[in-house]
Amino acid sequence: MSTIDIAVKVNGKLRKASVPPRLLLSDFIRQNLSLPGTHVGCEHGVCGCCTIMVDGAPVRSCLMFAVQADGSEISTVEALGKVDALHPIQQAFWEEHGLQCGFCTPGMLIVAQDLLQRNPDPTEEEIRDVVSDNLCRCTGYQNIITSIQKAAGRMREVEASTRIRGNTAAVAKAEPVQ
């Protein structure tokens, strides 16, 4: 079987591989790169559990071949945070019970991250619209929505705090007025 050489940046790390032309990106991520956080559910792009970021946009990795990602920058759920340092979205999902079985969670976290990067203060309707593209059979979505709202609030607080500290540092460095 013929293979094609690809190079992708995954979670900030350049990865090179020779892959079959019809290898799904989801399978490449899970099998070749040993990143199991990207789940595979329907393999038809319907459920959303395989959602990742490709060049800054959410993509269903089960609908894309690995060779199509050549030269792209990919972020998976593993890039969000670590067990001892959760991302605010992960922390909010944990605190608000935004997951039960966890199968849909990686895709939900990725679409939540994308939404909050584009809109740091989304309405409940905007959150519902975004998560409606991902299927969850356990939670009924309310705890997911609450989790995203909580994460949005925390992320805005961190942003405001960072901005204030930055302004304070800038004032401290400023030349005295003469």
Amino acid at 114: D
pTM: predicted TM-score of the whole model, two decimal places: 0.88
Percent of the chain with pLDDT over 70: 93
Q: How many other CB atoms are found less than 10 A from the CB of residue 85?
A: 8
pLDDT in tens, 127-147: 999 999 999 988 789 999 999
pLDDT in tens, 83-125: 899 999 999 999 999 988 999 999 999 999 999 999 999 999 9
pLDDT at 172 over 90: no
pLDDT at 169 over 80: no
Provide the pLDDT confidence category of residue 78 given band limits of 50, 70 and 90.
very high
Which of the two residues, 159 and 36, has the higher pLDDT score? 36
